[in-house]
Chains A and B, each alone.
Chain A
Amino acid sequence: MLPDPNSLYGPLDPAPEAGYENAPPRMGFFTDTSVCIGCKACEVACKEWNGVPESGLDLLGMSYDNTGALTANSWRHVAFIEQPRPAGHRASPADVLGAPVDVGPDRPVDAGPQFLGMPGAQPPGRGSGAEGRTDFRWLMMSDVCKHCTHAACLDVCPTGSLFRTEFGTVVVQEDICNGCGYCISACPYGVIDQRKDDGRAWKCTLCYDRLGAGMMPACAQACPTESIQYGPLDELRERAAARVGTLHDRGVPEARLYGHDPNDGVGGDGAFFLLLDEPEVYGLPPDPVVTTRDLPKMWKRAGLAALAMAAATVAAFVGGSS
Chain B
Amino acid sequence: MAEAHPVGFQWVMEAKRRGAKVFHVDPRFTRTSAVADAYLPIRAGTDIALLGGVVRYILDNELDFREYVVAYTNAATIVSEEFSDTEDGDGFFSGFDPETGTYVQDSWQYEGHEGSSGSGHTAQERDSAAGLTHESHGAQVGGQTRRDETLQHPRCVYQILKRHFARYTPEMVERVCGISQEKFLELARAWTENSGRDRTGMLVYSVGWTQHSVGVQYIRTGAIIQLLLGNMGRPGGGVMALRGHASIQGSTDIPTLFNLLPGYLPMPHHAEHPTLDEWVDSIRHPGQKGFWGNARSFAASLLKAYWGDAATPENDFCYGYLPRMTGDHGTYQQVLNMIDGKIKGYFLLGQNPAVGSAHGRAQRLGMANLDWLVVRDLFMIESATFWQNGPEVATGEIVPEECRTEVFFLPAASHVEKEGTFTQTQRLLQWREKAVEPPGDARSELWFFYHLGRKLREKLADSPLPRDRALLDLTWDYPTHGPQAEPSAEAVLREINGYDVTTGRPLSGFAEARADGSTAIGCWIYTGVYADGVNQAARRKSRHEQDWVAAEWGWAWPANRRILYNRASADPDGNPWSERKRYVWWDAEKSEWTGYDVPDFEKTKPPSYRPAPGASGTEGIAGDDPFVMQGDGKGWLYAPSGVLDGPLPTHYEPVESPVRNPLYGQQANPTRKMYAHPVNSVNPSPPQEHGQVFPYVFTVSRLTEHHTAGAMSRTVSPLAELQPEMFVEVSPDLAAEVGLTHLGWAHLVSGRAVIEAKVLVTDRLTPLRVDGRIIHQVWLPYHFGFEGLVTGDSANDLFGISLDPNVLIQESKVGTCDVRPGRRPTGPALLDLVADYQRRAGITPGQHAPAVTTDDEGKEHGAS
Contacts and interface: CB of A to CB of B under 8 A. Distances in A.
A94 B718 CA distance: 40
A159 interface: no
A61 B742 contact: yes
Given A82-B764, A225-B13, 16 more contacts: A35-B16, A37-B2, A37-B9, A54-B718, A57-B725, A63-B760, A91-B38, A91-B183, A97-B769, A98-B768, A98-B769, A99-B769, A140-B31, A140-B34, A224-B7, A225-B35
Nearest to B16: A35
B29 A39 contact: no
B723 interface: yes
Interface centre among A41, A98, A138 (most CB of B within 10 A): A98
A47 B718 contact: yes
A82 B763 contact: yes
Contacts of B35: 34-37, 225
Interface stretch (B174-182, B496-504, B529-537): B174-182
B480 interface: no
Contact of B732 (A66, A126, A137): A126
B720 to A, nearest CB: 6
A114 B88 CA distance: 51
B744 to A, nearest CB: 10
Interface stretch (A128-136, A169-177, A259-267): A128-136
A225 B10 CA distance: 5
B179 A98 contact: yes
Interface string B7-50: 10110010011000000000001011111011101000000000
Rank and list the top 3 A-B pairs by shortest CB-CB distance, nearest first: A123-B742, A37-B2, A138-B34
Given A40-B704, A41-B6, A96-B41, A123 B718 contact: no
A138 B183 CA distance: 19
Nearest to A96: B766
A66 B721 contact: yes
Contact of A138 (B17, B29, B41, B723): B29
B743 interface: yes
A142 interface: no
A137 to B, nearest CB: 8
Interface string B714-736: 00011111111101000111010
Nearest to B789: A57
A94 B183 contact: yes
15 contacts: A35-B16, A35-B17, A37-B34, A47-B718, A59-B725, A67-B722, A82-B762, A82-B764, A91-B38, A97-B769, A98-B769, A123-B761, A130-B731, A138-B31, A225-B13
Interface in A183-235: 224-226
A138 B725 contact: no
B285 interface: no
> Do most interface residues of chain A lie in helix, strand or loop, or is the interface mixed?
loop
B768 A61 contact: no
Contact of A43 (B13, B718, B766, B790): B718
A84 B2 contact: no
A41 B6 CA distance: 9
Interface in A80-129: 82, 84, 89-91, 94-100, 123-126, 129
Contacts of B767: 97, 130
Contact of B182 (A47, A91, A139): A91
B289 interface: no
Interface of A: 34-41, 43-44, 47-48, 54-59, 61, 63-64, 66-67, 82, 84, 89-91, 94-100, 123-126, 129-130, 133, 135-140, 224-226
A40 B2 CA distance: 11
A44 B7 CA distance: 14
B148 interface: no
Contacts of B2: 37-39
B10 A226 contact: yes
B31 A37 contact: yes
Nearest to B726: A59
B762 A125 contact: yes
A61 B769 contact: no
Given A98-B769, A140-B34, A125 B763 contact: yes
B562 interface: no
Given A37-B32, A44-B718, A96-B180, A63 B766 contact: no
B242 to A, nearest CB: 14
Given A98-B178, A225-B9, A61 B743 contact: yes
A40 B713 CA distance: 14
Contacts of B651: none
Contacts of B789: 57
Given A38-B31, A38-B34, A66 B723 contact: yes
A57 B788 CA distance: 12
Contacts of A67: 721-722
Contacts of B762: 63, 82, 123-125
Nearest to A54: B717
Given A37-B32, A48-B718, A123-B742, A133 B766 contact: yes
Contacts of B9: 37, 224-225
A95 B183 CA distance: 11
B758 interface: yes
Nearest to A60: B743
A137 B764 CA distance: 9
B445 interface: no
Contacts of A224: 6-7, 9-10
Contacts of A66: 721-724
Contacts of A91: 38, 182-183, 186
Nearest to B171: A98
A83 B74 CA distance: 48
